[in-house]
Amino acid sequence: MAPKKQEAPKERPLLGRFKSNLKMGIVGMPNVGKSTLFNLLTKVGVPAENFPFCTIDPNSARVNIPDDRFNWLCSLYKPKSAVPAFLDIMDIAGLVRGAAQGEGLGNAFLSHIAAVDGIYHVCRAFEDADVIHVEDRVDPVADLEIIHNELRAKDRAKIEGVIDSINKLKSRGLKKEQLEELECANRILEHLNKEVDVRFGDWSAKDVEWLNEYQLLTAKPAVYLVNMSEHDFARKKNKFLPKIHEWVQAHGGEPIIPFSAAFENKIFEMPDDEKDKYCKEAGVISMLPKIITTGFKAIHLIYFFTAGEDEVKCWQIRQGAKAPQAAGTIHTDFERGFICAEVMKFDELKEIGSENAVKAAGKYRQQGKEYVVTDGDIIYFKFNVTSSGKK
């Protein structure tokens, strides 16, 4: 008897907006180094001040994604134009205890967080009596608890609002869709009441559709950035780090990047050769590239390349996108009239050395509509759009 076919696991849509220009927001208590980091990342030059709430309007900036593969392709093709991938980053003002009830500049800040797709949580792990801490103590784990409680409180309020508005319609009788939404909203609320962030729930594809409509704060992926003194960063030791690690592991195990805004600031000012010498002697490197690439990945973005003598370009798409959708980021006609994608793997091109040699080796592969694009694919799309607009 033929073995029973195993059912393929159902593909679930990812939590979050289905767009390619997603944003990371820098979040944390006041005076933890958020604006200092933002300025470093973007070189925008907004002055960071030793004063809580010095960032009142959120600042946004676009940063390039550092990538050796992109640099290598540019050196191979020597294109007239070179376009790297990018990440939008928003500097959000400090959040305090009670923000969900409107403390500090509470609700405005929380709405800025609602506008981003992923969160850089900056934790203060440096002690400096000159830099005021709003809670009068340095305790990054307690800070993380405060922030997460506020985000969950805001999510609870939003979901309670959804439940209330559906319940108000009950007397008129609820449609099937509304009953389903009510059931889902109640489950989300139950989940939040257990003090667990929404992104760690086990949601069905239909649940994810509702969740993507609500855009809850705790549905957004996080990257933890631990800001320490230059001294601690250089000796790779910090008294708060093990506890932060433990806390993050117990709360979803998302990426943690130790860094020092003070160190980054210092080397940022130096000319390149001096910077290299200084880093070599101290045995450290700048963490800014890793912070950018980790944030980009956290919000489920990847990119493919188009490469030729005219242009080498990174096209960013969400993880899981199939070839026609990827083609659509270049032009809607490419998606509409999609025939196939001719794909080279970056590593194979690098190893073999040239596009023609890759073709000769039979490694320039034709892929169809169901092909799921992977990060770093080099793609040439074939498409055909007739004048009637139909394939």
Ligand X SMILES: Nc1ncnc2c1ncn2[C@@H]1O[C@H](COP(=O)(O)OP(=O)(O)OP(=O)(O)O)[C@@H](O)[C@H]1O
Contact window for ligand X (CB under 6 A) among 65-73, 172-180, 260-268, 371-379: 260-268
Contact window for ligand X (CB under 6 A) among 10-18, 47-55, 305-313, 379-387: 47-55
* Binder of ligand X out of 40, 48, 110, 341 (CB under 6 A): 48
Amino acid at 215: Q
Strand partners, 312: 82, 307
Tokens for 364, please give them: 């320039």
CA atoms within 13 A on the CB side of 135: 21
Binding string, residues 185-224; x marks residues near Mg ion by CB under 5 A: ----------------------------------------
- For residue 332, say whether it is annotated as part of any ligand binding site: no
* Binder of Mg ion out of 29, 32, 37, 55 (CB under 5 A): 55
257 binds, among ligand X, Mg ion, none (CB under 5 to 8 A by kind): none
Starting at the edge strand found earlier in the chain, the sheet holding 256-259 runs 59-64, 86-91, 23-27, 118-124, 222-227, 256-259
Contact window for ligand X (CB under 6 A) among 28-36, 248-256, 338-346, 356-364: 28-36
Asked if 50 is part of the footprint of ligand X (rule: CB under 6 A), the reply reads: yes
Asked if 31 is part of the footprint of ligand X (rule: CB under 6 A), the reply reads: yes
Contact window for Mg ion (CB under 5 A) among 47-55, 127-135, 238-246, 254-262: 47-55
258 binds, among ligand X, Mg ion, none (CB under 5 to 8 A by kind): none
Among 336, 327, 328, 324, CA closest to 386: 336
Distance, CA of 214 to CA of 16 (rounded, Å):
10
- For residue 270, say whether it is annotated as part of any ligand binding site: no
Q: How many residues bind Mg ion (CB under 5 A)?
A: 3
Asked if 324 is part of the footprint of ligand X (rule: CB under 6 A), the reply reads: no
- For residue 293, say whether it is annotated as part of any ligand binding site: no
Output the CA–CA distances (angstroms, integers) from residue 77 to 205, 307, 310, in the order listed: 42, 7, 8
3-state helix, strand and coil shares in percent for the chain, rounded to the nearest 5: 45, 20, 40
* Binder of ligand X out of 17, 18, 53, 243 (CB under 6 A): 53
SS3 (DSSP) at 362: coil
Residue 35 vs 260, nearer CB to Mg ion: 35
Asked if 52 is part of the footprint of ligand X (rule: CB under 6 A), the reply reads: yes
Q: For 229-287, where are the alpha helices, taking DSSP H only?
A: 230-235, 241-250, 261-268, 272-282
* Count of residues in the chain: 391
What sign results for the dihedral spanned by CA atoms 214, 217, 219, 220?
Answer: positive
Residue ranges for the known binding site for ATP are 31-36, 228
- The site for ligand X (CB under 6 A) is made up of 28, 30-36, 48-50, 52-55, 93-94, 126, 128, 131, 227-229, 260-262
Residue ranges for the known binding site are 31-36, 228
